[in-house]
Structure 1
Amino acid sequence: MSDVIPTQSASRDIPWDAGRWSNRPVSTRVSEDGTLYVMAAEGSDAWRHTSYGFVHDTEHALLVSFISGTSMEVEFGTPFEEQFDQAGIFVRVSAEHWVKAGIEFTDGTPHIGAVVTDGRSDWSATPVPGWSGRPVTMRISWADDALTVRARCSEGPWKLVRVAPFDAWEGVTAGPFVCAPTRSGLEVPFCRWSVGEADRSLH
């Protein structure tokens, strides 16, 4: 994972009520400062086949249209304590073709990573223990045939997480997501959701 600074461009906030849930969470609420709190259902997850053998399609993703030539950012808190607690950005084409990128609590440590799925899932993850309990911003940029995933903690530098091939051209949606595969009671605060131009360069 390397430090990068994506080209900054004008962006616009997306209102929480603009999205549609892939699977409704246990509850949602918006605080006075505009933060969206989402409580995940126990057992919610997104995965297809690889290594584990199962298919899970029960993530809570709040989705709007996502088009080539744009980027999306989601800022969220990380109150993760149990195995596989996770949140970030979800990009969905179909039940068999999707990408999720964010922070996942694995084996006692938060990891930053992505799951790229086209029939079968492919997971990459890097431990970031210093990010525990701190706000994180995920950014996915769609340019031509690829998604570029970046992340930063608080106001720190952007880090390149993943460059993944992406061959969908229409009917794509994306937005914030949360999953709680192993427990009940996980409530994640989402502070900001925005869309802008795609990053103009990889480095």
Structure 2
Amino acid sequence: MADPVSIPALPVPLRRLNAPDSHRVEGYDRLVLSTAGGTDLFTDPADGARRDNAPALVGALDGDFRVSALVRVGLSAAFDAAVLLLYASPDAWAKLCLESSAQGRPTIVSVVNRGVSDDCNSFAVDPQAEDVRLRISRSGSAYAFHVRVGDAPWELIRYFALRDTAEVGFLAQSPTGEGTTARFEEIAYSAERLADVRDGS
């Protein structure tokens, strides 16, 4: 088994779900994760076809938490993405993505998988935006996805239940392209519970 990956900003080491083309930890709070082409995490709701070869690093956090990162990713092909991932099993997981839409626009996308995947495009992001932050929070048995662009407030994207044993981490995907590199910067962890899931505070 490969050695776990430690990011000083996080209180637990991360294990590999699939081996990335390459990864490196930079300083206290940065991770660079590269993937080959043809990689994805998605189970088609139409026919149940599963793709689960996207590289990811995940770890188990106890209790309530918030994990966030400023994300940057090369969006060369449709559905290239940098992802914050919540992972319980191959049938139970959720992801929050900065992803290239089918039309080539940077888009906030979320997927919750319970046997099969849903797929929700929330909003397009200005291609010039350089400060897009994704966050996963757990409050008891519930999880929340939030996004903040620039100085705007945190915006709620999803509020849902999964499994309280889910691990949290980072994923890169390039299902239709030739590969991409995702950068997760200013990675931050807090054990503080959200005061208000709706406004993200």
Letter in 2 for 1:141: S
Note if 1:13 corresponds to 2:9: yes
- 1:90 is paired with a residue whose SS is strand
**What residue number does 1:50 align with?**
45
| TM-score, normalised relative to structure 1 | 0.83
Once the 2 structures are TM-superposed, how far is the Cα of residue 30 of structure 1 from its aligned partner?
A: 4.1
Matches within 5 A, 1:134-173: 134-166=130-162, 168-170=163-165, 172-173=166-167
Does the 8 Å contact 2:105/2:127 carry over to 1? no
Q: Matched residues in 1 for 2:83 and 2:151: separation? A: 17
**What residue number does 2:185 align with?**
191
* Poorly superposed stretches of 4+, deviation over 6 Å: none
For 1:104-129, what per-residue CA distance to the aligned partner results, in whole angstroms no more than 9, with x for missing partners?
A: 11121111121001111111112323
Unaligned runs of 5+ in 2: 1-7
**What residue number does 2:80 align with?**
85
Cα 1:194/1:165, change in 2 over 3 Å: same
Once the 2 structures are TM-superposed, how far is the Cα of residue 137 of structure 1 from its aligned partner?
A: 1.3
Letter in 2 for 1:71: R
Letter in 2 for 1:109: R
Letter in 2 for 1:193: I
Pick aligned residue for 2:168 from 155, 158, 174: 174
More moved, 129-138 vs 101-110:
129-138
Once the 2 structures are TM-superposed, how far is the Cα of residue 21 of structure 1 from its aligned partner?
A: 1.5
Letter in 1 for 2:178: S
Once the 2 structures are TM-superposed, how far is the Cα of residue 38 of structure 1 from its aligned partner?
A: 1.6
Once the 2 structures are TM-superposed, how far is the Cα of residue 31 of structure 1 from its aligned partner?
A: 4.8
**What residue number does 2:111 align with?**
115
Cα 1:52/1:153, change in 2 over 3 Å: farther
Identity %: 24
Does the 8 Å contact 1:131/1:153 carry over to 2? no
- 2:126 is paired with a residue whose SS is helix
Once the 2 structures are TM-superposed, how far is the Cα of residue 174 of structure 1 from its aligned partner?
A: 0.7
Q: Matched residues in 2 for 1:190 and 1:54: separation? A: 29
For 1:63-103, what per-residue CA distance to the aligned partner results, in whole angstroms no more than 9, with x for missing partners?
A: 11133421211222132121000112101100100001121
Letter in 1 for 2:113: T
Cα 1:201/1:133, change in 2 over 3 Å: closer
Q: Matched residues in 1 for 2:117 and 2:128: separation? A: 25
Q: Matched residues in 1 for 2:134 and 2:93: separation? A: 16
Q: Matched residues in 2 for 1:164 and 1:33: separation? A: 31
Unaligned runs of 5+ in 1: 1-11
Does the 8 Å contact 1:25/1:39 carry over to 2? yes
Q: Matched residues in 1 for 2:117 and 2:64: separation? A: 25
**What residue number does 1:129 align with?**
125
| TM-score, normalised relative to structure 2 | 0.83
